Amino acid sequence: MRTQVGIIGAGPAGLLLSHLLHLRGIDSVVLERRSREHVERRVRAGVLEQGTVETLVAAGVGERLRREGLVHRGIELRYGGAGHRVPFERLVPGRTVTVYGQQEVVKDLVAARLAAGGDVRFEVDDVTVHDADTDRPHLSFGGERLDCDVIAGCDGFHGVSRSSIPEGVLTVHERDYPFAWLGVLARVRPSAEELIYARTERGFALHSMRSPEVSRFYLQVPAGEDIVDWPDERIWAELRTRLETVPGFTLATGEILEKGVTPMRGFVAEPMRHGRLFLAGDAAHIVPPTGAKGLNLAVADVRVLTEALTHWYATGSTGLLDDYSDTCLRRVWRAQHFSWWMTTLLHTFDSDDAYARRLQVSHLDYVTSSEAAATTLAENYVGLPYERDLADPIPEAPRARKANE
């Protein structure tokens, strides 16, 4: 087999890349080791930046997102017995976020790729990267071979793409946090219209949602915590303790559908390219989920790679491909800092003494009383503008080479 772009991973990054390339007349094959059912049910991020929403709508996969997504024009920071709203609509006019689960984005993209005749292969075994440092890279899987011009590694932190790069090529930056998030998906109407980020002496809590009938909650717990130690009753009791801290607020409870513990870490591998292998999304970087940046960074990477590949196929120039890693990393490191900042602002650390706790509260007071500080939070949360816009509404590259040329 031969294609122009071989894509490893059928998460949001790989599927969106495949679809954007298709709209430009560039062929791709997507290889995914999990089943379609698994990737469409995998609960992950749910807060989409303004630019992510605009990208999906422009790609023609935003109809259900527009219909079912919950548009949020602010968030609440809750601490010290009071709630403080950060109003996006006033601080960054015209910019919002939309709550729409990652699994819903994946469903929309899978449907779009299959409807367009896209080659998306699930339950593919033993994907291996070959000759990425040459101009003839290829992938092998299940006894088959896929020749391609370029390989896109969109297969997540534990995928094969990054691990296939020779030792010493990448510089890895990593920070592990001394706590984790216990995440809960519950069949209960949200108790608030917007996300609540709560800082308490017992630890952080987040009230989020996925739909008008389903809510998402997170609790800060010690790193390495075992989910079996958290029966439903204990989860609801702790959520009430951390969230019912302002007058008149009562947390609604209901059936817990899913729960699990996620470690907190920051990770960046650079450069995000090795020869003809380009890393995107979690394959190259991970952020603590406090800033809601993971999925949005993946979309930003894919936008840059789409533009670079389109330009290369249309003109033969490698300029944008050569700039791919540096362009992406500027946004990645900004998101790393914002995610670290939100995490340290709202979580309790075992090493903190009374001095450190008072500094944290002082910083929260500043963010909630200073328009300049609140604007910094708001503009990072809704998503900074992209360095470049995708070419006008998704044209086909005029001289894109087909796979058999």
Low-confidence stretches of the chain (pLDDT < 70) are: 391-405
- List pLDDT tens digits, range 38-61: 999 887 778 999 999 999 999 999
Measured from the Cβ of residue 225, the count of other Cβ atoms closer than 10 Å reads: 17
**218 in active site:** no
Domains of the chain as residue ranges with CATH: 5-71+98-174+265-350 (3.50.50.60)
Q: Is the peptide bond before 271 cis (omega within 30 degrees of 0)?
A: yes
State phi, psi for 392 to the nearest 5 degrees: -50, 155
Q: Quick one: tokens of 222? A: 């010690």
Which DSSP string do the residues of 240-280 spell out, in sequence order? HHHH--STT------EEEEEEEEEEEEEEEE-SEETTEEE-
Q: What is the structure's pLDDT at 391?
A: 60
Burial of 299 (0-12, 13-18, 19+ CB in 10 A): buried
Spot the catalytic one: 274, 289, 313, 324: 289
**173 in active site:** no
For residue 198, list its beta bridge partners: 78, 205
Name the region of 81 (left: φ>0; alpha: ψ -120 to 50; beta: rest): left
Strand ordering across the sheet containing 70-72? 47-48, 97-99, 70-72
Give Cα 258 distance to the centre of its chain. Answer: 20
Strand ordering across the sheet containing 215-222? 82-87, 74-79, 196-200, 203-209, 215-222, 171-187, 255-270, 285-286
Strand ordering across the sheet containing 144-147? 128-130, 138-141, 144-147
The amino acid that residue 136 corresponds to is R
- List pLDDT tens digits, range 96-145: 999 999 999 999 999 999 999 999 999 999 999 999 999 999 999 999 99
**355 in active site:** no
Spot the catalytic one: 19, 22, 72, 138: 72
Spot the catalytic one: 100, 177, 197, 313: 197
Q: What is the structure's pLDDT at 398?
A: 44
**289 in active site:** yes
Tokens 């699990």 correspond to 260
Three-class DSSP category at 115: helix
Q: What is the structure's pLDDT at 399?
A: 44
Q: Quick one: tokens of 75? A: 């968030």
CA distance 77 to 86: 7
**197 in active site:** yes
